[in-house]
Amino acid sequence: MANLKEIRNRIASIGSTMQITSAMKMVSAAKLKKAQDAITAMRPYANKLTELLQNLSASLDENAGGVYAKQREVQKKLVVVVTSNRGLCGAFNANVLKETVQLLSKDTTPTDIYAIGKKANDYFVNKQHVIENKSSIFDDLTFDATAAIAEELMALFADGTYDKIDIVYNKFKNAATQIVMHEQFLPIVPLEGDQSGSQDYIFEPSKIEIVQGLIPKMLKTQLYKSLRDSFAAEHGARMTAMHKATDNATELRDELKLTYNKARQAAITNEILEIVGGAEALNG
Cα–Cα distance measured from residue 131 to residue 98, given in angstroms and rounded to the nearest whole number: 20
Cα–Cα distance measured from residue 79 to residue 111, given in angstroms and rounded to the nearest whole number: 7
- The sign one gets for the Cα dihedral 9, 13, 16, 22 is negative
Which residue, 43, 39, 98, 42, is CA-closest to 234? Answer: 39
DSSP result, 57-121: HTT--GGGTGGGG-----S-EEEEEE--SS--STTHHHHHHHHHHHHHHT--S-EEEEEESHHHH
Q: Which residues are catalytic?
A: 89
DSSP result, 157-203: HHTTS-SEEEEEEEEEEETTEEEEEEEEEES--PPSS--GGGGG---
Query: Cα torsion at 113, 106, 155, 69 (round to 10°)?
Result: -160
Cα–Cα distance measured from residue 113 to residue 81, given in angstroms and rounded to the nearest whole number: 7
Cα–Cα distance measured from residue 171 to residue 232, given in angstroms and rounded to the nearest whole number: 8
Res 157: pLDDT = 95
Contact (Cβ atoms closer than 8 angstroms) between residue 123 and residue 82: no
Cα–Cα distance measured from residue 176 to residue 276, given in angstroms and rounded to the nearest whole number: 59
Res 197: pLDDT = 47
Spell out, as residue ranges, where the chain has pLDDT lower than 70. 1-2, 53-66, 190-201, 206-208, 210-212, 284
Res 101: pLDDT = 95
Q: Domains (ranges, CATH) in the chain?
A: 20-241 (3.40.1380.10)
**pLDDT tens-digit map of 62-107:** 545 468 878 889 999 999 999 999 988 989 999 999 999 999 999 8
63 Cβ contact partners less than 8 Å away, ≥ 6 residues apart: none
Res 277: pLDDT = 79
